[in-house]
Copies of this chain bind each other. A is one copy, B any other.
Amino acid sequence: MTTQHDAVTPTTWYNILPDLPEPVPPMLHPGTKEPVTADDLAPLFPAELVAQELGGPREVDIPGPVLDLYRRFRPAPLVRAERLERALRTPARIYYKYEGGNPTGSHKLNTALAQAHYNKAAGVTALVTETGAGQWGSALGLACSFLELDCEVFMVRVSYDQKPYRRALMETYGAAVHASPSELTAAGRAALAADPAAPGSLGLAISEAVEAVAAAGGRAKYALGSVLNHVLLHQTVIGQEVLAQFARIGDYPDVVIGAAGGGSNFGGLAFPFLGEQLAGRRAVRAVAVEPASCPSLTAGRYDYDFGDSAGTTPLMKMHTLGHGFTPPAIHAGGLRYHGMSPIVSHLKELGLVEAVAVPQTACFEAGVAFARAEGVVPAPESTHAVRAAIDEALACRESGESKAIVFALSGHGHFDMQAYLDHFAGRLAD
């Protein structure tokens, strides 16, 4: 119970799949190259999540226990960035949806709670996952603590080294954390044999987590923090709240902006607005922002590829830099992924989603400007959306247009201050 609860948190998630003008190409079995079946996915996920992954109705009921957990932290505030507007001398109306107010400090908790719930209900006793920056791992760690599940996390080594306090947070919640590549799996050992100083990647950490689940023999399942349909589904709680919040204040965005690594932050905010557009009600520009150093949507090919680096997952039709791609060690660890959500990729191909790539230093400049104007220090991932929103607002200053811009402030940067120190010291490369 919190006194801040009000009625804007939805009771259903929004599934965009039935509204798409053309269906998303299906996930393929890596051996047969046939569309995957529920049975194929059963070793990894409980039946309810498999069903969400493969389709389902436009509106999916949020289970009561999940809604109760959501309401401990939600609704997340939609804030008019009036001080930033003044600092930019822009006629644009800038809004941000702040998902960093919950105990793990990012939007990842929205799907972590849902996934932990469905696994617990299915009798699973442990979840295994990967994490990049640590936002996802700590969210799943807390969700597992709430649901009384064991939690094991393979953390990309570059983040493990850069962010020991993210690991400490996961351990505080009771999770076991391993640097990836690790000696615990064949995929990890192979990577270490090739390069003992390998910085790791989300793709490799996924391989290790999937392998560990297979080795656990049914007791454990796998949990993924982005990319998949069911993950993006859970994140639509964000965009639906924003829709309701805009209705309350009598405004509506012209542009919706989110940083995109695997796509769940962006999709969570944008899909409910795209749903409005697909239903013929109100049009919107939806802009996905990615790092220039890991530009799957803007420079990757649109093709079937593996979700992990070892090539053990089902094949997904997506924008990809190739599953062997190891992104540079930028600070936005959550955006260091070779692929992109199949739904977001499909929407990009359909012309319903725009994509831009921005360099790291310009993002941190935007992050500092935002912090001084609005108070919240953005996570490195979130600075990508801040950068794009500021650029849109500056374009409005040039054109004189008063557009409404909303962006996803997906998390705070309290665990990422080394990145800001590096930025101030001029140590960041683009």
A174 at the interface (CB under 8 A from B): yes
Contact B375 A77 (CB under 8 A): no
Cβ < 8 Å to B, chain A residues 60-90:
72-73, 75, 77-80, 82-83
The interface stretch among A14-22, A44-52, A100-108, A313-321 is A100-108
Pick the contact of A371 from B3, B101, B172 — CB < 8 Å? B172
Contact B2 A168 (CB under 8 A): no
**Docked complex Cα distance between A405 and B418 (Å):** 38
Contact A417 B169 (CB under 8 A): yes
What 1/0 flags go to A21-46 for Cβ under 8 Å of B? 00000000000000000000000000
Contact B102 A3 (CB under 8 A): no
Contact A424 B171 (CB under 8 A): yes
**Docked complex Cα distance between A193 and B168 (Å):** 37
Q: Which residue of B lies closest to A101 (CB)?
A: B101
User: In the complex, which residues of chain B have a beta carbon less than 8 angstroms from the beta carbon of A145?
Assistant: 371-372, 375
User: In the complex, which residues of chain B have a beta carbon less than 8 angstroms from the beta carbon of A169?
Assistant: 377, 414, 417
Pick the contact of A77 from B3, B79, B174 — CB < 8 Å? B3
Cβ < 8 Å to B, chain A residues 142-160:
142, 145-146
Contact B72 A420 (CB under 8 A): no
What 1/0 flags go to A311-354 for Cβ under 8 Å of B? 00000000000000000000000000000000000000000000
Can you list 27 contacts pairing A with B, beta carbon distance less than 8 Å?
A1-B249, A2-B78, A3-B6, A3-B77, A3-B249, A4-B6, A4-B75, A83-B146, A102-B375, A103-B375, A103-B412, A105-B414, A145-B371, A145-B372, A165-B165, A165-B414, A165-B418, A168-B418, A168-B420, A168-B424, A169-B377, A171-B420, A173-B371, A174-B372, A414-B414, A414-B415, A415-B417
Residues on A lying within 8 angstroms of B by beta carbon are 1-4, 6, 8, 72-73, 75, 77-80, 82-83, 101-105, 142, 145-146, 164-165, 168-169, 171-174, 245, 248-249, 368, 371-372, 374-377, 412, 414-415, 417-418, 420-421, 424
